[in-house]
């Protein structure tokens, strides 16, 4: 990934954006590497089969508590044998080359630690995504299932980042009820990037930010890895 000072976010202008994407501002990125693809079902299955859901040292404290409270043993919708998953088209054989989805932030973070890596910050993700075309598996294409491929910054699945969902420096919420859409949720949630295969194409762009609680496992949540250089 690119190090140094970079501008992220947007000031709006003539194109639509949500208030949480503003204002455009500079960030300093330390030397790092960011993967050019998403983690696959096959790679995540190795993580599961390696006993990761029983290894407390891989997990954040709250994550380990969630594993035990909810009885997590594998991604949401996988069967116990780890060879099929429930999809919008019914139960299907697990595609080991497709991006893993329906995992929580805690699971994504634990996988990254198991792999000797980490999750990218949202600034690292945005700067890297600016070099990619906004192409991917979008809801408009009528294929509601993540696909494998190089890049994969847009569509396919939302990507957990290591960044808490918070206001950008100088953020000003919109007036009236529109101002409640984002600002009041800026607490105890993590930022996700990239959109998913069920996100409308006109919503997806490099600056688009969404957010979920760290124990959320729905809406095609996946991950890519990053490392310090």
Q: What does the chain look like in DSSP terms, one character per residue? A: ---EEEEES---TTS---GGG-S-EEEEE-SEEE-SSPPBHHHHHHHHHTTGGG-GGGS-HHHHHHHHHHT--S-TTB-TTSSEEEETTEEEE--TTSBP-S--HHHHHHHHHHTT-BPPPHHHHHHHHTTS-S-EE-GGGT--S----S---EES-EEEEEEE--PPTT--PPSGGGGGTTGGG-SS-EEEES--TTS-GGG--TT-EEEE-TT---SSEE---EEE-
Please count the other Cβ atoms lying within 10 Å of the Cβ belonging to residue 140: 12
Q: What is the pLDDT of residues 124-135, one digit of tens each?
A: 999 999 988 887
Q: Does the predicted model carry a pTM greater than 0.75?
A: yes
Nearest residue to 209 (alpha-carbon basis) of 179, 155, 165, 152: 165
Q: What is the pLDDT of residues 178-209, one digit of tens each?
A: 666 677 888 999 999 999 988 888 889 999 99
Does residue 72 carry a pLDDT above 80? yes
Nearest residue to 192 (alpha-carbon basis) of 228, 225, 157: 157
- Give the pLDDT confidence score for residue 183 in this predicted structure: 74
Give ∠ CA 59-60-64 in degrees, rounded to 5.
60
Q: What is the pLDDT of residues 157-167, one digit of tens each?
A: 999 999 999 99
Does residue 120 carry a pLDDT above 90? yes
- Give the pLDDT confidence score for residue 174 in this predicted structure: 75
Min mean pLDDT across 80-84, 105-109, 218-222 is at 218-222
Please count the other Cβ atoms lying within 10 Å of the Cβ belonging to residue 116: 8
pLDDT above 70 as % of the chain: 93
Query: Rounded mean pLDDT of the chain?
Result: 92
How far is 8 from 207, CA to CA, in rounded Å? 7
Give me the domain span that covers residue 177: 4-228
- Give the pLDDT confidence score for residue 206 in this predicted structure: 95
Q: What is the pLDDT of residues 167-177, one digit of tens each?
A: 999 998 777 77
| Residue range 48-74: mean pLDDT, rounded | 99
Q: What is the CATH number of the domain that holds 56?
A: 3.90.1580.10
Total domains present in the chain: 1
Q: Quick check: bond before 23 cis, omega within 30?
A: yes
């Amino acid at each position: 990934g690119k190090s140094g000072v970079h501008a992220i976010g947007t000031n709006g202008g003539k194109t639509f954006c949500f208030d949480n994407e503003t204002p455009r501002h500079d960030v300093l990125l330390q030397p790092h590497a960011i993967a050019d693809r998403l983690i696959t079902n096959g790679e995540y299955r190795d993580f599961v089969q390696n006993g990761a859901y029983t290894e407390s040292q891989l997990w954040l404290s709250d994550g380990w508590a969630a594993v035990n409270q909810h009885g997590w043993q594998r991604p949401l919708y996988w069967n116990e044998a780890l060879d099929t998953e429930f999809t919008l088209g019914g139960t299907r054989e697990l595609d080991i080359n497709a991006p893993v989805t329906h995992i929580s932030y805690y699971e994504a973070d634990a996988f990254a630690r198991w792999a000797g890596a980490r999750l990218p910050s949202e600034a690292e993700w945005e700067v890297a995504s600016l070099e990619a075309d906004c192409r991917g598996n979008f809801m408009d294409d009528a294929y509601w299932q993540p696909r494998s491929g190089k890049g994969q910054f847009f569509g396919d699945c939302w990507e957990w980042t290591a960044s808490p969902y918070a206001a950008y420096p100088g953020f000003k919420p919109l007036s009236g009820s529109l101002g409640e859409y984002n600002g009041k949720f800026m607490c105890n949630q993590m930022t996700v990037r990239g959109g998913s295969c069920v996100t409308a194409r006109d919503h997806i762009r490099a600056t688009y930010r969404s957010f979920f609680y760290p124990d959320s496992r729905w809406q095609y949540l996946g991950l890519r890895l990053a490392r310090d250089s």
